[in-house]
């Protein structure tokens, strides 16, 4: 129980400040509503003292600006203040509670519309900071919203009999222009002084402001009391305020000029004085409003330029600071990066040297492998030719002697002896072919061109494919490995043609140029797709890779040109004297 009571006590204690805050908020709101109503009532009674076309319609209506600013800054909760103030002004002037309620309703809706439109389309409380928003305030809050109050007011008076319907247009026009001017002129001054901070002028600016006030009053008195008689002479003073001070001071200047001009016009003085005081005031209000809109737009342009210059200077200062900081950081980073680059360059140089040495070693190893292969092929070829070949030849001769002996005795050779003789003949041919493929004797005995000529003729006889050999190479001594490489490249190219090309003719060309030999093998076969070269299931790519490796090991250049249905052209350029003969393989080119 003690705990629950403690919790309840704490809950009540926590709710108490919230209740006090709510009560305080209600009190503040009520005080604000009362203040709005009071200000509306006082300025409304003063404005109706200038009513000439009807006691309830005046061309000067400052309460419209008060209501607009109150709802713009404090929201629609100030609507009761506007309604009460308008109702009291009209009920104490003329008409009944019904007419006063109708007029008050129109004035309240007018203020609601002005505040909503400015908030929605003209940047709200910051409407006088930009030029386009100033014009929007005049059109939306002044001209558009002012028509609401004028319509409700004139209709309420005429419908209840307190005004003639024949006078409806004059009342509506006076009411509309009075509300529009009051909303813009007095509303702009009130909004700018409430929302902007107080000016913090230097001594020179304060002296200039005092001078502007003195000159303004003096010129206004001379202009509107018929000493000059030209209303436009007041415009330079408004432009002075626009260029040297700001939008707020310009709006204040316009209200001061409007006050002096109204005072003079009511005394039938100045350029707007006439027989009809209502029309005179309407013309004066139109002139002052247009002048105020124009000069306030100029002031806003000047303010925008000043803000832009200030922001630009601030941004420039920040940019300089950032540039200085970044420069220092970049300098430090550059020093670190330079050290790192130097270290990396040394490491890369060492790595490049190691990679080059490794590449040279691999290349030398590959060359040694190829030399060993060729030497082994030569040895096997000689053994096949000199050993097995000679024995088979001896066996063939023994078989021939047996056949001759049988013939001398009048005996017919047996079928087994004949078959054995044929098998021996075939074995001799096969051994010779193997020996030639391993190491063509013509290459060693007669040179590269003769060996290639025999190779092409043998290929043409076996595969029934026409081969044309065109060789034009200089008789310059060079390494035998170049001859072997060229022979093997042509041999492999012809083998690919036989296996895959389905060609009817092949051209083989050898050309000497710039210390190198260019080998070209071209056929008119079916060709192939180079992009899929390494994935061909028939092994086409393996032979080409072998030719490429053989060329590159000797420091040469290899290229393949082919397309589907367009034949194939193989080019290999091998430099002369790129490799040195070693060991027993020391032959040189012999033409």
DSSP 57: B
Backbone angles phi, psi at 569, to 5 degrees: -130, 120
Rounded-to-integer distance, Cα 432 and Cα 384, Å: 8
Q: What would the two tokens of residue 331 be?
A: 């300098």
Averaged pLDDT for residues 24-36: 92
Averaged pLDDT for residues 36-55: 95
Residue with tokens 């016009």: 265
Share of the chain above pLDDT 90, in %: 45
Give the N- to C-terminal CA distance of the chain in Å, as an integer. 123
The ranges assigned to domains in the chain are 14-196, 443-575
Rounded-to-integer distance, Cα 174 and Cα 540, Å: 102
Q: Secondary structure of 386-428 in the HEC alphabet?
A: HHHHHHHHHHHHHHHHHHHHHHHCCCCCCHHHHHHHHHHHHHH
Per-residue pLDDT reduced to its tens digit, 414-441:
666 667 766 666 676 665 566 555 667 6
Lowest mean pLDDT among 43-52, 280-289, 578-587: 578-587
Q: Which residues contact 413 (CB under 8 A, 6 or more apart)?
A: 402, 403, 406, 407
Confidence bin at 66 (pLDDT 50/70/90): very high
Give the 3-state secondary structure of residue 567: coil
In what side-by-side order are the strands of the sheet with 466-472? Answer: 466-472, 505-513, 516-523, 568-575, 557-562
What per-residue confidence (pLDDT) applies to 450?
86
What per-residue confidence (pLDDT) applies to 416?
65
Kindly report the CATH number that applies to the domain delimited by 443-575: 3.30.565.10
Pairing between β-strand 466-472 and β-strand 505-513 as defined by DSSP bridges:
parallel
Lowest mean pLDDT among 76-90, 348-362, 395-409: 395-409
Rounded-to-integer distance, Cα 409 and Cα 371, Å: 55
Closest CA to 258 of 38, 57, 61: 61
Q: Which residues contact 272 (CB under 8 A, 6 or more apart)?
A: 224, 231, 261, 265, 280, 281, 283, 284, 287
Give the 3-state secondary structure of residue 418: helix
What per-residue confidence (pLDDT) applies to 52?
92
Rounded-to-integer distance, Cα 284 and Cα 58, Å: 13
Share of the chain above pLDDT 70, in %: 76
Per-residue pLDDT reduced to its tens digit, 179-198:
999 999 999 999 999 998 88
Residue with tokens 């000679």: 390
**Of 136-145, 300-309, 344-353, 567-576, where does the model show the most confidence?**
136-145
Residue 108 has pLDDT above 80, yes or no: yes
Query: Do 498 and 557 touch, CB atoms closer than 8 A?
Result: no
Rounded-to-integer distance, Cα 31 and Cα 111, Å: 19
What per-residue confidence (pLDDT) applies to 12?
46
Per-residue pLDDT reduced to its tens digit, 203-217:
999 999 999 999 999
Rounded-to-integer distance, Cα 288 and Cα 276, Å: 18
Rounded-to-integer distance, Cα 227 and Cα 219, Å: 9
Rounded-to-integer distance, Cα 37 and Cα 39, Å: 6
Q: What is the largest CA-CA distance in the chain?
A: 173
What per-residue confidence (pLDDT) applies to 588?
44
Closest CA to 56 of 8, 113, 11, 104: 104
Distances (CA, A) of 568 to 311, 458, 501: 71, 21, 8
What per-residue confidence (pLDDT) applies to 333?
86
Rounded-to-integer distance, Cα 441 and Cα 319, Å: 83
Rounded-to-integer distance, Cα 510 and Cα 517, Å: 7
Pairing between β-strand 557-562 and β-strand 516-523 as defined by DSSP bridges:
unpaired
517: left (phi over 0), alpha (psi -120 to 50) or beta: beta
515: left (phi over 0), alpha (psi -120 to 50) or beta: left
Averaged pLDDT for residues 461-484: 81
Distances (CA, A) of 222 to 149, 151, 209, 217, 229: 36, 38, 20, 9, 8
Per-residue pLDDT reduced to its tens digit, 403-417:
666 666 666 666 666
Residue 497 has pLDDT above 80, yes or no: yes
94: left (phi over 0), alpha (psi -120 to 50) or beta: beta
DSSP 143: I
Contacts 24+ apart (CB under 8 A), 338-344: none
Confidence bin at 177 (pLDDT 50/70/90): very high
Per-residue pLDDT reduced to its tens digit, 343-379:
888 888 888 877 777 766 666 665 666 666 666 666 6
When the pLDDT of each residue in the chain is averaged and rounded to a whole number, the result is 83
| Architecture per CATH, 14-196 | Orthogonal Bundle (1.10)
Residue with tokens 């009391």: 225
Residue 47 has pLDDT above 80, yes or no: yes
For CA atoms 447, 449, 454, 455, the dihedral sign is positive
**Of 221-230, 465-474, 582-591, where does the model show the most confidence?**
465-474
Q: Which residues pair with 572 in a beta bridge?
A: 519, 558
Residue with tokens 């061309």: 59
Confidence bin at 157 (pLDDT 50/70/90): very high
Rounded-to-integer distance, Cα 100 and Cα 92, Å: 9
CA 35 centroid distance within chain: 55
Give the 3-state secondary structure of residue 92: coil
Lowest mean pLDDT among 62-66, 124-128, 383-387, 417-421: 383-387
**Where would I find the H helices in 92-144?**
97-121, 131-136
CA 163 centroid distance within chain: 67
Residue 143 has pLDDT above 60, yes or no: yes
- Roughly what angle, to the nearest 10 degrees, separates helices 247-266 and 203-224? 30
Averaged pLDDT for residues 284-291: 91
Pairing between β-strand 568-575 and β-strand 557-562 as defined by DSSP bridges:
antiparallel
- Roughly what angle, to the nearest 10 degrees, separates helices 415-438 and 389-408? 160
What per-residue confidence (pLDDT) applies to 580?
41
Q: What would the two tokens of residue 339 be?
A: 């050290």
Q: Which residues pair with 497 in a beta bridge?
A: none
Residue 320 has pLDDT above 80, yes or no: yes
């Amino acid at each position: 129980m003690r705990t629950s009571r403690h919790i309840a006590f704490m809950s009540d204690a926590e709710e108490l400040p919230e209740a006090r805050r709510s009560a305080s908020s209600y009190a503040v709101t009520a005080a604000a509503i009362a203040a709005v109503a009071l200000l509306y009532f006082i300025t409304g009674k003063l404005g109706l003292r200038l009513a000439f076309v009807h006691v309830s319609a005046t061309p000067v209506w400052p309460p419209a600006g008060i209501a607009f600013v109150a709802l713009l800054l404090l929201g629609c909760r100030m609507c009761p203040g506007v309604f009460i103030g308008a109702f009291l002004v009209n009920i104490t002037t003329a008409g009944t509670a019904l007419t006063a309620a109708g007029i008050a309703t129109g004035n309240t809706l007018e203020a609601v519309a002005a505040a909503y439109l400015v908030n929605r389309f003209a940047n709200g409380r910051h409407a006088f900071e930009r030029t386009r928003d100033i014009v929007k305030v005049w059109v939306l809050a002044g001209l558009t919203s002012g028509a609401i109050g004028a319509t409700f007011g004139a209709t309420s008076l005429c419908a209840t009999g307190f005004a003639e319907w024949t006078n409806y247009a004059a009342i509506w026009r006076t009411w509309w222009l009075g509300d529009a001017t009051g909303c813009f002129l007095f509303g702009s001054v009130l909004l700018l002084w409430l929302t902007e901070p107080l000016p913090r002028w230097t001594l020179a600016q304060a002296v200039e402001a005092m001078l502007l006030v003195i000159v303004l009053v003096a010129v206004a008195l001379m202009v509107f009391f018929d000493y000059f008689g030209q209303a436009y002479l007041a415009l330079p003073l408004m432009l002075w305020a626009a260029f040297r001070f700001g939008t707020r001071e310009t709006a204040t200047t316009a209200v001061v000029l409007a006050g002096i001009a109204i005072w003079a016009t009511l005394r039938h003085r100045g350029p707007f004085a006439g027989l009809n005081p209502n029309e005179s005031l309407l013309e004066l209000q139109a002139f002052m409003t247009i002048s105020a809109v124009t000069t306030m737009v100029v002031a806003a342009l000047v303010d925008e330029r000043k803000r832009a210059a200030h922001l630009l200077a601030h941004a420039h200062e920040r940019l300089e600071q950032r540039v200085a900081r970044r420069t220092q950081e970049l300098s430090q980073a550059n020093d670190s990066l330079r050290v790192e680059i130097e270290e990396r360059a040394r490491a890369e140089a060492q790595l490049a040297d190691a990679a080059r040495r490794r590449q040279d070693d691999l290349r030398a190893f590959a060359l040694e492998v190829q030399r060993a292969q060729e030497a082994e092929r030569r040895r096997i070829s000689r053994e096949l030719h000199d050993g097995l070949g000679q024995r088979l030849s001896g066996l063939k001769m023994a078989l021939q002697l047996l056949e001759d002996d049988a013939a001398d005795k009048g005996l017919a050779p047996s079928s087994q002896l004949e078959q054995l003789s044929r098998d021996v003949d075939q074995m001799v041919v096969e051994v010779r072919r193997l020996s030639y493929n391993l190491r063509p004797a013509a290459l060693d005995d007669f040179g590269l061109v003769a060996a290639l000529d025999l190779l092409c003729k043998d290929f043409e006889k076996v595969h029934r494919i026409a081969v044309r050999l065109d060789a034009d190479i200089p008789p310059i001594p060079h390494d035998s490995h170049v001859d072997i490489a060229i022979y093997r490249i042509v041999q492999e190219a012809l083998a690919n043609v036989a296996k895959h090309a389905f060609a009817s003719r092949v051209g083989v060309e050898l050309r000497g140029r710039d210390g190198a030999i260019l080998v070209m093998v071209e056929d008119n076969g079916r060709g192939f797709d180079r992009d899929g070269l390494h994935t061909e299931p028939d092994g086409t790519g393996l032979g080409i890779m072998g030719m490429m490796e053989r060329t590159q090991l000797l420091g040469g250049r290899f290229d393949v040109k082919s397309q589907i249905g367009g034949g194939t052209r193989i080019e290999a350029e091998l430099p002369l004297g790129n490799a040195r003969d070693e060991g027993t393989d020391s032959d040189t080119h012999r033409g």
